[in-house]
Amino acid sequence: MSTLDVSRQWPLYEVFVRARGGLDHKHVGSLHAADARMAIDHARDLYTRRLEGVSIWVVASKDITASDPSETESLFEPARDKIYRHPTFYEIPDEVKTL
């Protein structure tokens, strides 16, 4: 890029890669691309070079709505004292290995 003028750069895309069948797509990073098709190509070249995935999702970063960091307390703190929501009061038999 000959200029750092952000308005002239390609838009940003977030990249999600599924490592193998059955797993979720995981966020792996972001990249610049002119459109979604190019974002897929770039994601393939940047994030699956070492056999990291079998499927790619790209989402324009501008289309992601994020929670407001200033609201972190009101959004997440109330869950802190509700430990009864965790299934930690069960005794797990020794025979059960994979839980």
Partner 1 sequence: MSAAFGTDAPAPGSCARPHGPDEGALFRYLLRLGDLSLVLGQRLGEWLGHSPALEEDLGLANIALDLIGQARLLLSYAGEAEGRGRGEDELAFLREHREYRNPILAEQPNGDFGCTIVRQVLIDAYQLELYERLEASSDPRLAAIAAKSVKEIRYHLRYSGGWLVRLGDGTEESHARVRSALDALWPYTAELFAEDTLDRMMAEHGVAPRLAEVHAGWLRRLDPILAEATLERPRDRPYSWHGKRGEHSEHLGYLLAEMQYLQRAYPGARW
Which phi and psi angles does 54 have, rounded to 5°?
Answer: -125, -5
C-beta closer to partner 1: residue 45 or 72: 45
Q: Does 44 bind partner 1 (CB under 8 A)?
A: yes
β-strand pairing of 12-18 with 25-32: antiparallel
C-beta closer to partner 1: residue 50 or 80: 50
Where are any strands of DSSP class E within 1-99?
12-18, 25-32, 55-60
Q: Does 49 bind partner 1 (CB under 8 A)?
A: yes
Which phi and psi angles does 40 have, rounded to 5°?
Answer: -65, -45
Q: Which of 23, 37, 55, 72 binds partner 1 (CB under 8 A)?
A: 37
| Chain residues in the site for partner 1 (CB under 8 A) | 1, 10, 31-34, 37-38, 41-42, 44-46, 49
